[in-house]
Amino acid sequence: MEAVIQEKVNVWLEGNFDNDTKQAIRKMQSENPGELAESFYRNLEFGTGGLRGIMGVGTNRINKYTVGMATQGFANYLNNTYPGGPVRVAIAHDSRNNSRFFAETAANVFAANGIKVFLFESLRPTPLLSFAIRQLGCQGGVVCTASHNPKEYNGYKAYWNDGGQLVPPHDKNVIIEVEKIASVDDVKFSGGEKNIVSIGAELDEEYLKMACSLSVNPDIIAKQKDLKIVYTPIHGTGIMLVPALLKRFGFENVTIVDEQAKPDGNFPTVVYPNPEESEAMSIGLAKAKSLDADILLGTDPDADRVGIGVKDHNGNWVLMNGNQTAVLAFNYLIEARKTKGIAKSNDMVIKTIVTTDMIDKFAQRNNVSCYNVLTGFKWIAEMIKEKEGKEEYIIGGEESYGLMIGAKIRDKDAVSAVAILCEMAAYEKAQGRTLFQKLIDLYVEYGFYKEHLISITKKGMDGQEQIAAMMEGFRNNPPASLNGSEVVQLLDYELKQGRNLKTGEEWKIALPKSNVLQFILADESKISARPSGTEPKIKFYFSVNAPLASVADFDKVYAQLDEKINGIIRDLKV
């Protein structure tokens, strides 16, 4: 074992750590030295979004000590930023194994540092944490979750006073403070318990009132109250609020998927508790088919991502992707506000740079400003803050199954999204069509945009290095053409520079630095490469488009766009 790893192991064996931790280390020493090396070869990085990793002992794992050290650094930064006090934080957690323990650990550390803590009495959706920060006038917040990751993972997301995740300068400044915590002995784990206040039902009620105010067509729901809805929380926190909100909206025919209704950090019915995965939605899909439902919805463990299933133009059940869902939701709110006469001349919507450009197209045609930001809802929240008082925020979203409706929440919110998606289905049913048929009509009107995602995971100690090498290869040697179409632009968000590969013209990209590359093709196809900030993974986003002359041509053009995507993937060699 490398000396630096052994040194870290010795610190934990000889230091102020509990006996169970030390016994677990000794067991790995004798039975699984490879796992011991993985657990200690680096310090789990507190990134711009917080912590995420596998649970277990060691510096590279999520445990009481890594959570405690992160919280101590965050507490130091909050106290330094607000020296006159008082400083208040809200803390929530999801259904994952140990999430309650980590939330209580964080609460105790904040409290021991003189910070008032509002700790939810039991599991709650992540969007409720964002809402609570704003409602309670907090300076920060934490939610203990690993979102949609497998059961062995957990995490810690840090928030600022606007209810959004940390953005510059706070993200980097908090990281600096966390990195200053050199030893577990620097952490105040106890001594301020009187500063912790339990919260729960009262915040639920305020949230439900707010979410109900997002409805644009309650009259349509009243006529379609028997809309057949199937919902699965996939063993997560959505069960705490989604059924209650659907009832408040006026829906009376909601079926919960029993097999996935109980919060359970072992996620016994799925491999990945992620509504992006068809396997996670399969039980709900079977239930929807058996009931001949109108719509299927699923949320991930912390209820910030939403998946949707509907009948397609042939009457077959399909799961929509995040881009399709975003197109429908953005368009519905833009159209419905115009129809209701509540649209404003300064209405705006926000999407990320890897989300379908079809949204830009119909927003422009409806005279609604559409802003593009970096991937992550913290950037949507930051844009709302920048435009506050000048423009009216309606909806934000990204391709990874996230929507954020209304400005009272500053992180993606699957709870309100479920209710609005059901309202959309009710509206379209009243018009005699499904959501999928509405989507095809939009393709006819604005062009058929089709997207695809490839995610490549590189595990182990050299995984990050392999990903970095892939990005450098694309950055230094961009392809000349893909699928027979010339690559005309390279957008490098790390260098904040755009370049016309034909003329050599360069321009500045007016967004914060981010390790993302985009290739723009002559046929308007767009390919994006982005390493994940929370996992050893690199994602490739493909977007192609073509005119759709009529509904009857849908299947033919769909196949042509599929062929185009496959050709690009072959040439890109990923």
Residues with catalytic annotation?
Answer: 147
User: Which residues of 358-496 form beta strands (DSSP E)?
Assistant: 369-373, 392-398, 402-405, 448-457, 481-482, 485-492
Query: Which residue has 């005119």 as its token pair?
Result: 547
Cβ atoms of residues 133 and 119 within 8 Å? no
Q: Which of 414, 412, 366, 369 is nearest to 391 (CA)?
A: 369
The whole-angstrom separation of Cα 77 and Cα 6 is 31
Burial of 19 (0-12, 13-18, 19+ CB in 10 A): exposed
Q: Which of 464, 453, 455 is nearest to 527 (CA)?
A: 453
Q: Which residues pair with 256 in a beta bridge?
A: 231
Backbone φ and ψ for 346, nearest 5 degrees, come out as -110, 25
Backbone φ and ψ for 64, nearest 5 degrees, come out as -55, -40
Helix 3-14 crosses helix 19-31 at what angle (to 10 degrees)? 150
* β-pairing verdict for 448-457 and 402-405: unpaired
User: From residue 415, how far is each of 130, 245, 259, 370, 383 by CA, in Å?
Assistant: 13, 8, 20, 24, 22
Task: Reduce the DSSP state of residue 37 to 3 states and report it.
Answer: helix
The whole-angstrom separation of Cα 207 and Cα 128 is 7
Cβ atoms of residues 236 and 446 within 8 Å? no
Backbone φ and ψ for 253, nearest 5 degrees, come out as -125, 65
Cβ atoms of residues 165 and 158 within 8 Å? yes
Residues 6 or more apart whose Cβ sits within 8 Å of residue 248: 208, 211, 212
Burial of 178 (0-12, 13-18, 19+ CB in 10 A): buried
